[in-house]
Amino acid sequence: MLAREPAWADAHFNLGLVRKRQGDRFAAARALHAAWLHDPMMFEAAKQCVATIADCVRRGEAWAAPVSTHYDPVRMKFTVVVCSIDDAKHDRVVALYRRLFADVAHEIVSIRNARSLAGAYNEAIANGKGDIVLLSHDDIDVLAPDFAARLSRQLRDFDAVAVVGSARMDGPAVGWSGHPYLRGWITHHAPADATWSVDVLDPHVAAGDIAILDGVLLAARREVFAAVPFDAETFDGFHLYDIDWSYRASRAGFRLGVAGELLVVHASRGAYDAAWQRYADRFCAKHDAGGAPARISSFFGASLDSADQVRTFYALLAALSIGDRPR
Task: Give the model confidence (pLDDT) of 197-255 as tens digits.
Answer: 999 999 999 999 999 999 999 999 999 999 999 999 999 999 999 999 999 999 999 99
- What pLDDT does 71 receive? 56
Decide: 300 and 46 in contact? Cβ < 8 Å: yes
**CB hemisphere CA count around 34 (13 angstroms):** 21
What whole-number distance in Å separates Cα of residue 184 and Cα of residue 205? 8
**How many residues are given for the chain?**
327
Residue spans of the domains in the chain: they are 9-61, 78-318
pLDDT of residue 270: 78
CATH architecture group of domain 78-318: Alpha-Beta Complex (3.90)
Q: Would you state the pLDDT for residue 323?
A: 55
In this predicted structure, what is the pLDDT of residue 1? 60
Low-confidence ranges of the chain (pLDDT < 50): 65-68, 324-327
Query: For the whole model, what pTM was predicted?
Result: 0.93
